């Protein structure tokens, strides 16, 4: 039995569709249920940011989560596969009328990705003041809470519709299959067999 932590929403649905394609049958959380067992798998329906925690502590053997979250949390897990979905960038946004100028003193940056932001500006040797937010980051520059934001950009619509522009991209992200380190060794056959099956589906889709 392998326990798989999935991030609630679209990515969970797309991942379960891959399982259905591989194993046949129905893979679907009913109503508000948080655990589902099908065949040799148990699926956990968790918040995106919490997926790595379940995997790192071993409550889940396998997880599906964005590279941005893996990088932000500096996790001690095994990265198995880029699933080529949920593609986005982590970018710096500023107001349309502003110029990018990191040399200005006391620039305030709002983000939920504090570590990624700190490390990026540390490499540039720019001091930063970071304001931690949990969502709707694009609001911060509009009301003067911050001069810039560091956030996920997928279609770019949220920035555009709020009068912001991308000043710089920090990293590309996409959803990855990860494994708990102990599970990777103790259940190696099961984990690698699943990895190979999912990889086959991912590669065949990317060849279309």
What is the torsion angle, in degrees rounded to the nearest 10, for the CA atoms of residue 26, residue 31, residue 33 and residue 38? -10
Q: 166 or 202: whose CB is closer to ligand PRP?
A: 166
CB of residue 118 to ligand PRP, shortest distance in Å: 18
CB of residue 157 to ligand PRP, shortest distance in Å: 4
CB of residue 14 to ligand PRP, shortest distance in Å: 16
* Residue 169 tokens, joined: 């991209």
Residue whose C-alpha is closest to residue 4's, from 21, 32, 31, 27: 27
- 96: DSSP letter: T
49 binds ligand PRP (CB under 6 A): no
Q: Are 75 and 56 in contact (CB under 8 A)?
A: yes
158 binds ligand PRP (CB under 6 A): yes
153 binds ligand PRP (CB under 6 A): yes
150 binds ligand PRP (CB under 6 A): no
* Residue 12 tokens, joined: 């969970």
Q: Are 80 and 204 in contact (CB under 8 A)?
A: no
* Residue 115 tokens, joined: 């570590």
Could you give the CA distance from residue 63 to residue 192 in angstroms, rounded to a whole number? 14
Convert residues 110-149 into a mask of x (bound to ligand PRP by CB under 6 A) and - (unbound). Answer: -------------------------xxxx-----------
* Residue 196 tokens, joined: 């190979």
156 binds ligand PRP (CB under 6 A): yes
> How do strand 78-82 and strand 175-179 relate by DSSP bridges?
antiparallel
68 binds ligand PRP (CB under 6 A): no
Q: 153 or 198: whose CB is closer to ligand PRP?
A: 153
Length of the chain: 208
CB of residue 134 to ligand PRP, shortest distance in Å: 7
Q: 27 or 120: whose CB is closer to ligand PRP?
A: 120
Q: Which of 151, 173, 178, 187 binds ligand PRP (CB under 6 A)?
A: 151
Q: 15 or 180: whose CB is closer to ligand PRP?
A: 15
DSSP 3-state of 85: coil
CB of residue 90 to ligand PRP, shortest distance in Å: 10
DSSP 3-state of 136: coil
- Residue ranges binding ligand PRP (CB under 6 A): 135-138, 151-158
């Amino acid at each position: 039995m392998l326990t798989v932590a999935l991030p609630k929403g679209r990515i969970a649905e797309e991942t379960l569709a891959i399982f259905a394609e591989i194993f046949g049958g129905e893979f679907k959380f009913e109503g508000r249920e948080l655990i589902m067992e099908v065949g040799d798998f148990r699926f956990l329906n968790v918040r995106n940011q919490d997926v790595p925690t379940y995997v790192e502590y071993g409550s889940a053997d396998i997880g599906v989560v964005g590279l941005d979250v893996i990088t932000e949390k500096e996790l001690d897990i095994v990265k198995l596969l880029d699933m080529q979905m949920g593609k986005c960038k982590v970018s710096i946004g500023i107001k349309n009328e502003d110029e990018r100028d990191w040399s200005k003193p006391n620039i305030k940056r709002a983000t939920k990705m504090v570590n990624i932001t700190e490390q990026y500006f540390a490499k540039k040797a720019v001091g930063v003041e970071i304001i931690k937010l949990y969502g709707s980051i694009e609001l911060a520059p509009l009301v003067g809470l911050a001069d810039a934001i560091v956030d996920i950009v997928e279609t770019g619509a949220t920035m555009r519709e709020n009068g912001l522009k991308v000043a710089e991209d920090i990293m590309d992200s996409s959803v990855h299959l990860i494994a708990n380190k102990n599970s990777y060794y103790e259940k190696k056959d099961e984990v690698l067999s699943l990895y190979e099956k999912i990889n086959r589906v991912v590669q065949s889709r990317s060849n279309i």
